[in-house]
């Protein structure tokens, strides 16, 4: 059954919230557990639709998976299937990271092209090109990828673009490869560092995550391991934006400040006061935010594309004109149409949005068309005058655990029906 949020705007977001584990970290780490053939205990796993889909995939592949609250215990010691069911892959793009894990563990894989949010073309050619350099034989036919790798050998691989998914797939596929693999122009996102840390805990030899070059020395076997997922910087940024959109005051616990710097910088530029005390981050927002000249999405450590939509929602009510340039995905302004229905003044030309801030937005009937766009419309509804009805909130479930309940505890008037 489809659900919707009903939001009565005008309430400040105040209080304390703990940030849970990062979705974009837990998914590749779940895939990585396949490599060990042992038991892995993963703490701070968010309860999200995408995470549950990945758990379902692991079970179908032959893994034993048990969830105890936010801890997930995965035993991959049994027989592992090499074919990932199409119906599950099409629900979640991140399932493509299973390719590298299955190649590493069972030396072959069969998977269809992945699904997920429709935010523009996200080709996996960089994944496949890197895997081929490791010795993987690949055949693509009718939307399905067949891979075989009887003898993986380390290679010097240069990525044309610092793709997160390609970096993760090549990293997982190279753990058991003979010799040394170097991934040049690797993605630097914090989630790559978290994957490296987990792999090293279970006995891999990986170094360089967070730099341009990642080095993997092949090993013959792995061990049991226990790991805690890093905090979700995008969820943290979204709650910070909720406080900023309503003139509120919020304390965020379980935060990695270094990972948050690109988001913190823009919110400060918009007039928010942000400081750190006793391990927590505090944000206090003015009654009206200031516009910023330009926000440009870039691979980490640039401004994250996943925060583009929430920031556009904030700038819709900021004083002055702002320009948002989306360099990562070409179809990621679908939330703009709904913001305009709420009174925003936004003009989109290709990958550029010009946002002329209005003093107020008005509640309207709108639709979540993807995960982050849906979160942006929640933010707009919190600060709008009147009632906002947001349909298709299942998209939001993919990346935010009970966002409406957390917002209620922080003072918002939001219900799910």
Start-to-end Cα distance in the chain: 10
Mean pLDDT of the chain: 95
CA distance 8 to 414: 6
Range of weakest confidence among 82-91, 178-187, 220-229 = 82-91
Q: Two tokens at 139?
A: 């055949």
pTM of the model: 0.95
Task: From the candidates 45, 63, 112, 117, give the one annotated as an active-site residue.
Answer: 117
CA distance 173 to 72: 23
**How do residues 212-260 score in pLDDT, each as one tens digit?**
999 999 999 999 999 999 999 999 999 999 999 999 999 999 999 999 9
The reported pLDDT for the residue numbered 337 is 97
Please confirm, yes or no, whether 341 is among the known catalytic residues: no
In the sheet that holds 156-158, the strands lie side by side as 156-158, 180-184, 214-217, 205-207
pLDDT at 354 over 50: yes
Residue 121 confidence class, pLDDT cut points 50, 70, 90: very low
Q: Two tokens at 357?
A: 């801030």
CA distance 198 to 208: 14
**Using alpha carbons only, what angle is made at residue 248 by residues 246 and 250, rounded to the nearest 5 degrees?**
130
Q: What's the Rg (C-alpha) of the chain?
A: 21
Return the exposure string of 211-248: e unless at least 16 CB atoms fall within 10 Å of the residue's CB, then b: eeebbbebbeebeebebbbbbbbbbbbbbbbbbbbbbb
376 CA to centre of own chain: 15
Strand, helix or coil at 116? coil
Rounded average pLDDT over 290-305: 97
Residue 115 confidence class, pLDDT cut points 50, 70, 90: low
Rounded average pLDDT over 142-161: 94
**How do residues 194-205 score in pLDDT, each as one tens digit?**
999 999 999 999
The reported pLDDT for the residue numbered 120 is 46
Backbone angles phi, psi at 204, to 5 degrees: -75, 170
Nearest C-alpha neighbor of 176 from the set 138, 217, 208, 135: 217
The CATH homologous superfamily for domain 23-228 is Enolpyruvate transferase domain (3.65.10.10)
Residue 143 confidence class, pLDDT cut points 50, 70, 90: confident
The CATH homologous superfamily for domain 4-20+231-416 is Enolpyruvate transferase domain (3.65.10.10)
pLDDT at 288 over 80: yes
Residue 122 confidence class, pLDDT cut points 50, 70, 90: very low
Q: Where in the chain is the domain with CATH 3.65.10.10?
A: 4-20+231-416, 23-228
Q: What is the DSSP string of 311-342?
A: HHHHHTTSBSEEEEE--S-SS--THHHHHHHT
Write down the number of H helices and E strands in the chain.
Answer: 14, 23
CA distance 271 to 201: 41
Q: Two tokens at 280?
A: 């927590």
Q: pLDDT exceeding 70 applies to what percent of the chain?
A: 98
């Amino acid at each position: 059954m489809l659900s919707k949020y009903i939001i009565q705007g005008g309430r400040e977001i105040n209080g304390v919230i703990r940030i849970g584990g990062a979705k974009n970290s837990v998914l590749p780490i779940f895939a990585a557990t396949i490599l060990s053939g042992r038991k892995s205990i993963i703490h701070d796993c968010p309860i999200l639709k995408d995470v549950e889909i990945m758990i379902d995939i692991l079970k179908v592949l032959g893994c034993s998976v048990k969830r105890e609250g936010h801890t997930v215990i995965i035993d991959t010691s049994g027989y592992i299937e090499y074919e990932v069911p199409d119906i599950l892959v099409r629900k979640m793009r991140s399932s493509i990271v299973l390719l590298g894990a299955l190649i590493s563990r069972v030396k072959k894989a069969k998977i269809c092209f992945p699904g997920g949010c429709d935010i523009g073309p996200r080709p996996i050619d960089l994944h496949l090109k890197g895997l081929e350099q490791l010795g993987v034989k690949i055949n693509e036919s009718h939307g399905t990828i067949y891979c075989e790798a009887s003898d993986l050998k380390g290679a010097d691989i240069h990525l044309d673009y610092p793709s997160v998914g390609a970096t993760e797939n090549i990293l997982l596929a190279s753990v058991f490869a003979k010799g040394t693999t170097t991934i040049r122009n690797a993605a630097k996102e914090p989630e790559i560092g978290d994957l490296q840390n987990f792999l090293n805990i279970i006995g891999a030899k990986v170094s360089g995550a967070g730099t341009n070059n990642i080095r993997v020395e092949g090993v013959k076997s792995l061990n049991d391991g226990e790991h805690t997922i890093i905090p979700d910087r995008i969820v943290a940024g979204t709650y910070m934006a909720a406080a900023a959109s309503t003139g509120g005051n919020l304390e965020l616990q379980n935060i990695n400040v270094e990972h948050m710097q690109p988001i913190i910088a823009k919110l400060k530029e918009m007039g928010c006061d942000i400081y750190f005390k006793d391990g927590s981050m505090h944000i206090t927002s003015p009654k009206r935010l200031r516009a910023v000249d330009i926000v440009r999405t870039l691979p980490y450590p640039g401004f994250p594309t996943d925060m583009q939509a929430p920031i556009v929602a904030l700038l819709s009510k900021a004083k002055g004109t702002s320009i948002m340039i989306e360099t990562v995905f070409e179809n990621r302004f679908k939330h703009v149409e709904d913001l305009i229905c709420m009174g925003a003044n936004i003009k989109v030309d290709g990958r550029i949005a010009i946002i002329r801030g209005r003093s107020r937005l008005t509640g309207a009937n709108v639709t979540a068309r993807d995960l982050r766009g849906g979160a942006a419309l929640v933010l707009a509804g919190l600060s709008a005058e009147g009632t906002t009805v947001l349909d298709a909130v299942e998209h939001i479930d993919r990346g935010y655990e009970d966002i409406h309940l957390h917002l209620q505890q922080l003072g918002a008037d939001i219900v799910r029906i």
